[in-house]
Amino acid sequence: MIYYAKWRNVMADDFSFEIIEKFGILSEAKSGWTMELATVSWGGRPAKYDIRSWSPDHQKMGKGVTMSKEELVALKKLLGEMAL
């Protein structure tokens, strides 16, 4: 168990992200958390499109979906074809 705890701390230290551009808020919870579309660079890698929930200070995040430009274009096409 001690080994696992140390391993998790090392992983947490290596984890980094940078929100490059915010496109908009899809929804907001009473807690202040928002579901947003943005481009995010994870671990210093090139930014990708990202839909996920963020705490008000953007220091904590929920689960989300990260997509390349091609995947976002395909999603846009699918949404355009749907009868909503």
**Coil/strand/helix, residue 66:** strand
> CA geometry: angle at 30 spanning 76 and 59, to 5°?
70
Q: State the Cα torsion 37-26-53-48 to the nearest 10°.
A: -10
36 with 26: CB under 8 angstroms? Answer: yes
Residue-number span of the structural domain to which 47 is assigned = 2-81
Say what the pLDDT of residue 49 is. Answer: 98
Say what the pLDDT of residue 15 is. Answer: 72
**Average pLDDT along the chain, 84 residues, taken 10 residues at a time:** 36 74 96 96 93 94 96 96 93
The count of structural domains within the chain is 1
Could you tell me the CATH number of the domain that includes residue 16? 2.30.31.70
